[in-house]
């Protein structure tokens, strides 16, 4: 596809359940980021993948959060035992690397509501 695709677009889950969010980056983009955006807030960095290098997980807020990416393709963000404070929009972004800086391209996000 032409842009970053995220699914589902909306997810409502009960507190304590696990959720899995998916991101399809732009083809050829080696770098992939996950961000969290709470209502009315800015972007909070969660995790960064670059090719086959070890991911930068420094932004993950707790061990309930994890993410995977196989090569330069799809990434999944998993939240275990969801809490109400996990309610937010989860944004995925990708970009090319190498050469001059290439800006991030964002998906439309997954709006997660934990009841």
Partner 1 sequence: GQQLNQSPQSMFIQEGEDVSMNCTSSSIFNTWLWYKQDPGEGPVLLIALYKAGELTSNGRLTAQFGITRKDSFLNISASIPSDVGIYFCAGQLASNYQLIWGAGTKLIIKP
Q: What is the contact surface with partner 1 in residues (CB under 8 A)?
A: 4, 31, 41-43, 45, 48, 50, 56, 91, 93, 97, 100-101, 103-109, 111
Q: Is the Cβ of residue 79 or residue 92 nearer to partner 1 in the bound state?
A: 92
Q: Is the Cβ of residue 14 or residue 98 nearer to partner 1 in the bound state?
A: 98
Q: What counts of helices (H) and strands (E) characterise the chain?
A: 0, 10
Q: Is the Cβ of residue 42 or residue 71 nearer to partner 1 in the bound state?
A: 42
- To partner 1, the closest distance from the beta carbon of 33 in angstroms equals 8
**Strand residue runs (E) in 8-87:** 10-13, 19-24, 31-37, 44-50, 65-69, 75-79
- To partner 1, the closest distance from the beta carbon of 23 in angstroms equals 11
Characterize the bridge pairing of strands 65-69 and 75-79. Answer: antiparallel
Q: Is the Cβ of residue 22 or residue 80 nearer to partner 1 in the bound state?
A: 22
Beta-bridged to residue 32, according to DSSP, are: 49, 94
Helix (H) or strand (E) holding 6: strand 5-7
């Amino acid at each position: 596809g032409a842009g970053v695709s995220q699914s589902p677009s909306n997810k409502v889950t009960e507190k304590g359940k696990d959720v899995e969010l998916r991101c399809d980056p732009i083809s050829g983009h080696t770098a992939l980021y996950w961000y969290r955006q709470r209502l009315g807030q800015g972007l909070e960095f969660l995790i960064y993948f670059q090719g086959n290098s070890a991911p930068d997980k420094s932004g993950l807020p707790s061990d309930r959060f994890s993410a995977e990416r196989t090569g330069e393709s799809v990434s999944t963000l998993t939240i275990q035992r969801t809490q109400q404070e996990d309610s937010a929009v989860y944004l995925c972004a990708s970009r090319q690397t190498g050469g001059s800086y290439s800006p991030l391209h964002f998906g439309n996000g997954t709006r997660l509501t934990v009841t």
